[in-house]
Amino acid sequence: MAKKKKKNIMVCVTQQKSCERLIERGAQIREGTDELHVVHVVKDSWKYFSEMEESDALDYLYEVSKNFQANLSVINSDDIEKSLSEFARSRNVRVIVMGESKENSKQQDMIFRLRKTINMDVAFDIVTELENED
């Protein structure tokens, strides 16, 4: 019997608590030995939170990731798409889970920009705002 190919999963998150639903989706589609990677890219110029709030948000992401047996990676980069693409390539990711974009222009839409940049065979699983709500 042929060995089933690993389908590593990358979940792209921000520091919002609503990201738990994205991590949960990644866990739902994971099978067997698939690896679940939760990735948060931070631009150095972004300072939305105080250091304490940012620390709390990262602690929250870490705990949620741990609850779903996922690896959390926080990347500092000014080129989000490139960093996510490189991460996906280096981990042999086959599925990328993202929340739907609320942006009106393609230039601001991270899903569009990542699809354009990724240059590898990968499926996108886009979670809408209404999904995974009780």
Span of 65-69, 89-93, 126-130 with lowest mean pLDDT: 126-130
Instruction: Quote the pLDDT of residue 112.
Output: 86
Instruction: Quote the pLDDT of residue 100.
Output: 86
Q: Is the pLDDT of residue 84 over 90?
A: yes
> For residue 77, how many other CB atoms are within 10 A of its CB?
15
Instruction: Quote the pLDDT of residue 83.
Output: 95
* 37 and 122 Cβ atoms separated by less than 8 Å: no
Residue 108 lies in a domain: yes
State residue 97 phi and psi, 5-degree precision.
-100, 130
Q: How confident is the model at residue 119 (pLDDT cuts 50, 70, 90)?
A: confident
Q: Tokens 């919002």 sit at which residue? A: 16
Q: How many domains does the chain have?
A: 1
Q: Nearest CA to 46 among 71, 80, 85?
A: 80
Give the CATH number for residue 52. Answer: 3.40.50.620
